[in-house]
Amino acid sequence: MKAREFLGIFKVEITVLIDIVAVSAFLSVPGSTLRLALLAPLLVSGSLASFSSALFNNIYDQDIDGRMKRTEYRTKLINWKTRNLYIAVATLMIALSMAISQIYLNTLTSLFIFGGFLSYFVLYTVILKRRTIWNIVIGGIAGSFPALAGWSSLTGSVSSTSLFLAFLVFLWTPSHFWSLASSRVEDYIQADVPMLPVVKGVKASTRWIFTNTVVLVAYTLIPFFVHMDLGRAYFPIAIASDVAFLYLTGRLLVSSDTPSLKRAFHFSNLYLLLILVSVWLVAVGW
Ligand code: HEM
Ligand SMILES: CC(C)=CCC/C(C)=C/CC/C(C)=C/COP(=O)(O)OP(=O)(O)O
């Protein structure tokens, strides 16, 4: 077993970007740099909840993971022999996550972190994923909770800025995932999961991806007209990232080959990273 595969069952790389969502919301709180120590319990609690939800997702999806090339490696680790062990580990992780958040942060933040866990494992994985093409649109709310948790960890409240960041991730998710799913459509046909490209075809999915990206880009322009605590670096970086994302998803309308789809998918992560990290500069007065 390779280390990357072991880390893969906890979806560590996804958790890193989830944590960056939380850090951006945290640093956008005025005066956040005076209380940076609270980043530690926020990131430990949020990461443990993300790892736990990813583990529960992989335990529940054992049957379909074994039928998809991208995920079949997981069945070497999570199988009938080890299932109970991983259930115990995942349960311990979410319990520890809640304890840390309750002790060092506040109840609202615990609720937001638990909301991310529940919306990913129960709402998306158990209820929606195998039933509807809207699975990742509704399930995408999972990625919004880290933004709400990041702001509330310092304030015990919600703000227009944390709601803006939360909804930004929500709108970003379909462009992110549908490009991946379209590049892996055979996998999802094998697994009999009703992802958009399985039900509507890749060509139609590229139109949905581009349309969603146009809506996402329009949404990122709101801070040009409505004040948010996002700092000055947000504006040029959002515009540059928007142009690149529109280009990469727009060209899918012309060529929806696998490399183009994978390029759009990988850029979706860079896109969100650039916009989120641009907000960090607000903490140092930019
Ligand atoms: C319901 C919502 C989402 C779905 C269905 C989804 C789906 C996926 C899938 C299937 C992968 C490939 C994973 C692999 O092959 O190991 C992936 C990768 C990734 N996702 Fe998402 N995702 C969602 C939300 C998010 C959110 C909210 C974030 C962070 C804010 C995120 C960040 C990432 C990153 C960074 C990767 C790349 C990891 C790598 O390079 O392997 N995803 N996503
Ligand atoms: C605050 C908190 C805990 C938030 C959790 C948010 C979170 C972990 C979102 C990730 C969503 C995700 C990667 C879905 C992919 O599942 P999939 O089953 O479609 O992917 P797979 O086929 O690779 O298993």
Asked if residue 6 has pLDDT above 90, the reply is no
Distance, CA 120 to ligand 2 centroid (Å)? 6
Question: Considering the chain, what is the average pLDDT of its residues?
Answer: 96
Q: What percent of the chain has pLDDT over 90?
A: 94
The arithmetic mean of pLDDT across residues 69-81, rounded, is 93
Distance, CA 225 to ligand 1 centroid (Å)? 31
Residue nearest to atom 4 of ligand 2 (CA): 116
Question: 0.90 cut: is pTM over it?
Answer: yes
Distance, CA 105 to ligand 1 centroid (Å)? 27
CATH code of the domain made up of 3-284: 1.10.600
The arithmetic mean of pLDDT across residues 87-105, rounded, is 98
Question: What is the pLDDT, as a whole number, of residue 1?
Answer: 62
The arithmetic mean of pLDDT across residues 140-152, rounded, is 98
The arithmetic mean of pLDDT across residues 75-84, rounded, is 93
249: confidence class by pLDDT, cuts 50, 70, 90: very high
11-48 tens-digit pLDDT: 999 999 999 999 999 999 999 999 999 999 999 999 99
Q: Where are the alpha helices (DSSP H) in the chain?
A: 3-8, 12-27, 39-60, 62-65, 83-104, 107-118, 135-139, 145-155, 160-183, 185-191, 196-200, 202-220, 234-250, 258-280
70: confidence class by pLDDT, cuts 50, 70, 90: very high
Check pocket membership of 111 for ligand 1, CB cut-off 6 A. Answer: no
61: confidence class by pLDDT, cuts 50, 70, 90: very high
Residue of 124, 129, 135, 173 with the most ligand 2 atoms within 8 Å of its CB, for mutation? 124
193-242 tens-digit pLDDT: 999 999 999 999 999 999 999 999 999 999 999 998 899 999 999 999 99
CA distances 164 to 5, 66, 192, Å, are 34, 38, 35
* Domain map (residue ranges) of the chain: 3-284
The arithmetic mean of pLDDT across residues 172-195, rounded, is 97
| Cα within 13 Å of Cα(168), Cβ side | 32
Question: What is the pLDDT, as a whole number, of residue 192?
Answer: 96
Q: If we measure between CA atoms, which residue out of 56, 54, 21 comes closest to residue 145?
A: 21
Residue nearest to atom 13 of ligand 2 (CA): 14
Asked if residue 126 has pLDDT above 70, the reply is yes
Asked if residue 170 has pLDDT above 70, the reply is yes
Residue of 14, 138, 198 with the most ligand 1 atoms within 8 Å of its CB, for mutation? 14
The arithmetic mean of pLDDT across residues 237-252, rounded, is 98
Ligand nearest to the CA of residue 262, numbered in listed order = 1
Question: What is the pLDDT, as a whole number, of residue 144?
Answer: 98
Asked if residue 285 has pLDDT above 90, the reply is no
